[in-house]
Structure 1
C-alpha cells in the first residue's frame, strides 16, 4: 500500500527574524541525559551538527549512511531539513538526549506503508534501542480505518503498552477532526498544535483522538543554508534565503516539543524503563489548554 500522506508542516519554511532557536535551549544542560530518541523523518542534514550556529545539534547522527540528507544550497528541495529541524527542537528541550535520525520519508509526499513500517521496525530493534520514537508525518485513510501494517507491527513489537518504545506522532494540518494515522492509534501519543497565544492553531487537526497539545507555530531551528524557492501557493515562486535557521509551523514541530518534554522528565526522575509513566507525569503537571477546541487536553512545553 502506498500512503499518499504528507509531512506535517503547515507552512513552507520562512526566513527567521532572529538568530536564536524557538523554543529556547533549556536551562538544564543535563536534561535528556541517558534518553535515546529515534526521529523517523526525512533524514539528517549533517552539516547542521557541525555548525557553530546550531551547536545544540552536535552529536546527533543519521541512523546509517542511507539516512544522510543531501541538499543543494542553490536549490533547496521541498521538505529538505525537516528531520533536522525536528531533531533540533528535541535537543532544545532536552540538550543531552541521544538522537538518531531515520530517512524514512526522503520525498515527503508519498511512501509505501511497508517502507515506513520497516523504518519504524529498524528504529525499535536498532542496537541503540530508543526509548522514544518521533514521527512528524502521516495520512488520512479510507473510511478512517487504521493502517494494517502499523497494527501488526505494534502487536509484534509490544508497542501497545508504551514500554518497549513510546511513539509520538503529529496530528496533521488539515483543520479536520478526522483521524490521522499513525497519530490516531491508541498506542501512539497524538500531538496537536497551538499558536503563540495557546489556542489551537487554525491548521491543526483536532478531535478526541488527539492526546496532547504543544506550540507548533513560528518555531525556529536548524535548516540547510542556501536558496529556497517556494513550491506552494500563495507564495509559489518566491525566493527565500537561509543561513542555517528557518521559521516553520505545523504539528510536525509541536511533536518534538512533546518528545523533548518526555525525555527531560525521564532523565530528571531516572526512569528509563517506562516512557509512558514519564508522559503521565508530564501531563499531570501540565496546564489544561484554554481553547475548548482542545477538548480539555493538556498543554505540554513552553509557548
Structure 2
C-alpha cells in the first residue's frame, strides 16, 4: 500500500450555495432544480444532490430496447479441464470466513445464510451444480435466450463469478473454495451484457456460431477464441472468461461491467427499474450490484442517475440492503487521485448515493488498497478483490475458474471491485440470518462499525471507507449503537479447551506421589544434617593469658 493511503482521510462537507449568483441568473419565484441548488462553487459534486422521488420509475419487467447477440458466449477452456482447484482463496483466509460460518450455524441451528435471498443484478447467472436449487430466476432485461429462464444465461461470464463468491457450496470436500453464505438463495437479474448490442435491424439474427458450426455456448471454443483456463501449477476446473470467435469479447482485467457503454446492453434506467421492482415485490433481502456507470464529475446529475438515486432510496426505505462495487479505474474512468478529495474528477453510480448504498472498495493480498479501486467519499468498506477464485460461468461447467483470457492468448487473474462487493453481500446475508430483527440500516451499520477502521479522523478515509470488513466481529460484537435495539446479545465465544475427564485419577495420584516423595526426601535431609552436627567433635576452647 502506498504511504499515507490509510491515513489521508477526508471529510464529506456541504458547500455553501452561491446565493448571489443564483439570484441574478434565476428569476424571482422560479424553481431551481435540486441538483442546481446543491452545486458547490467549484463546479464538482463530492456528494449527490437531494433525492427527487418524482424520478422513481415503474419496473417494465423487460429490456429498454431490442438487443441482439454480437459476440460468442463465455466458453470452457479446452486445456486442463480435469484439474481440480483445491486451494482456498486468500480472501477466505484473510476474512476468516469458515469461522464466521460456524458462528452463524451455531446460533441458528441451521445453514449459513439459510432463508436469506440475495439479488445479483449483473450479466446473468449460469446454472451451476454448486448453486444447487438455490438459484432462481429474477428477470431478463437484455434478451431472453431460447430454452433458458430469464436471467439464467451469463454470456459474459461475470455474474456467475459474483454469485459464486456469495453463495457457492461445493460438493467436493477437497475443494477449499466456498461462498460466504453457502446456504443463501441467489435471485438473478440479467441487466447488462457486453456481448449484446442494440438491434437496429427488423429481425434478430441467430446467435453467432463457432467456426465448427456449433453454438457459441459450446464447451469447445472456436479457434482463436478467448476463454479461461486453470494455471499449470494449482489448476482449476474448466476456467472462465469471455470468449468469441472474433476475439472481441470483453475481458475482466479490472472485473467491471460498465453501464451506458456504446454498443452494449445495459442502462441506468433498467437498473433503476430492477431495484424498484425487487423492493416493491419483496423479491430479495439484499441486492448486489457489481455494475456501475462512471463519468466525469462536472457538477451535474443525469436523468438516469436521478432514477437510480430514487430507486435505491425507495429500496432502502423498504428494508433492502444495497451493496455496490465502488468502481474500477480505467482509461475511461480516471482514478480520483487529485489533492482535494472534495473535488472528485470521477463520479461512479450507484456508489455515489452513499446514504442508501454500501459501496465496496478492493484490497489486494498485502492488505493494501488495490490500485484499480476507485477512491471517493462514497466508499463504505473494503474487501478482497484480487486473485479471485469462483465458479466457472461457462455453460455446463461444474468446476472453478481463477484466470480469464483476453486478447487471444493473454491470461489474467480475475480481479476487480466487482468481486469485493459479493464478499460484503455474503456477509450481509450472514448478519441477516443471525440477527433476524435487524433492519437494513442496522445490518449496514454493524458491518461498518466492526470493520478494521483506518487510522484516520472519524475512522474512515476515501480509500477503504470504514475499513476492511471483519465478518467474525460483525457476527459477535456488542455495539453501543444497538443498545435498546432488537439485536440479540451475541453468544460468547467459548475457548476451545480439551474436555474434562473426571474418572481418570492418574493425574491426582501422580501429583500426590510427587508431593509425598518430596516430603520424604526433605525429612531424610534434615535427619542427616542433624546427625552430622551431633557427631561432630567439639572445638577446643581457646584461653587467653
**TM-score range relative to shorter protein:** 0.7 to 0.9
Secondary structure, aligned partner of 1:179? strand
TM-score normalised by the chain length of structure 2: 0.44
Change (3 A) 1:38 1:276: same
Secondary structure, aligned partner of 1:254? helix
Secondary structure, aligned partner of 1:180? strand
Secondary structure, aligned partner of 1:140? strand
Name the structure with the higher strand share: 1
Q: Residues 89 and 260 of structure 1 are in contact (CA less than 8 Å); yes or no, is this contact kept in structure 2? A: yes
Give the one of 66, 79, 88 matched to 2:150.
66
Q: Deviations over 1:94-128 (max 9, x none)?
A: 12212101100122553232222222233333452
Rounded to whole Å, the distance in 2 between the matches of 1:168 and 1:158 is 13
- 1:250 counterpart = 2:416: yes
Give the one of 160, 166, 170 matched to 2:325.
170
Q: Residues 93 and 261 of structure 1 are in contact (CA less than 8 Å); yes or no, is this contact kept in structure 2? A: yes
1:196 Cα offset (Å): 1.2
Rounded to whole Å, the distance in 2 between the matches of 1:68 and 1:84 is 9
Q: Deviations over 1:233-265 (max 9, x none)?
A: xxx21166xxxxx95110000001111111111
- 1:112 counterpart = 2:267: yes
- 1:37 counterpart = 2:192: no
Q: Residues 90 and 256 of structure 1 are in contact (CA less than 8 Å); yes or no, is this contact kept in structure 2? A: yes
Rounded to whole Å, the distance in 2 between the matches of 1:197 and 1:230 is 25
Rounded to whole Å, the distance in 1 between the matches of 2:87 and 2:281 is 33
Q: Residues 44 and 84 of structure 1 are in contact (CA less than 8 Å); yes or no, is this contact kept in structure 2? A: yes
Residue 221 of structure 1 corresponds to 390
1:154 Cα offset (Å): 4.6
Rounded to whole Å, the distance in 2 between the matches of 1:157 and 1:171 is 15
Secondary structure, aligned partner of 1:63? strand
Q: Residues 32 and 264 of structure 1 are in contact (CA less than 8 Å); yes or no, is this contact kept in structure 2? A: yes
1:299 Cα offset (Å): 0.7
Residue 445 of structure 2 corresponds to 280
Two-structure CA RMSD over aligned residues (Å): 3.4
Rounded to whole Å, the distance in 1 between the matches of 2:84 and 2:300 is 42
**Unaligned segments of structure 1, at least 5 residues:** 3-12, 72-79, 241-245
- 1:19 counterpart = 2:174: no
Higher RCO structure (Cα 8 Å, ≥6 apart): 1
Aligned counterparts, 1:15-164, within 5 A: 18-20=85-87, 22=89, 23-24=91-92, 26=98, 27-28=101-102, 30-46=111-127, 48=128, 50=129, 55=130, 58-64=133-139, 65-69=149-153, 71=155, 80-91=156-167, 92-107=179-194, 108-109=257-258, 110=261, 111-126=266-281, 128=283, 130-142=284-296, 143=298, 145-152=300-307, 154-155=309-310, 158-159=313-314, 161=316, 163-164=318-319
**Unaligned segments of structure 2, at least 5 residues:** 1-63, 66-75, 106-110, 140-148, 168-178, 195-256, 337-345, 472-545
Secondary structure, aligned partner of 1:137? coil
- 1:265 counterpart = 2:461: no
Residue 370 of structure 2 corresponds to 201
Rounded to whole Å, the distance in 1 between the matches of 2:365 and 2:452 is 15
Q: Residues 382 and 465 of structure 2 are in contact (CA less than 8 Å); yes or no, is this contact kept in structure 1? A: no
Rounded to whole Å, the distance in 2 between the matches of 1:256 and 1:98 is 13
Q: Deviations over 1:181-227 (max 9, x none)?
A: 11111221111100111110011101222111111111200023489
Rounded to whole Å, the distance in 2 between the matches of 1:165 and 1:296 is 21
Q: Across the two proteins, how many residue pairs are aligned to each other? A: 267
Q: Deviations over 1:121-157 (max 9, x none)?
A: 33333452x1111000112235264453453455467
Residue 184 of structure 1 corresponds to 352
Secondary structure, aligned partner of 1:81? coil
Change (3 A) 1:164 1:61: same
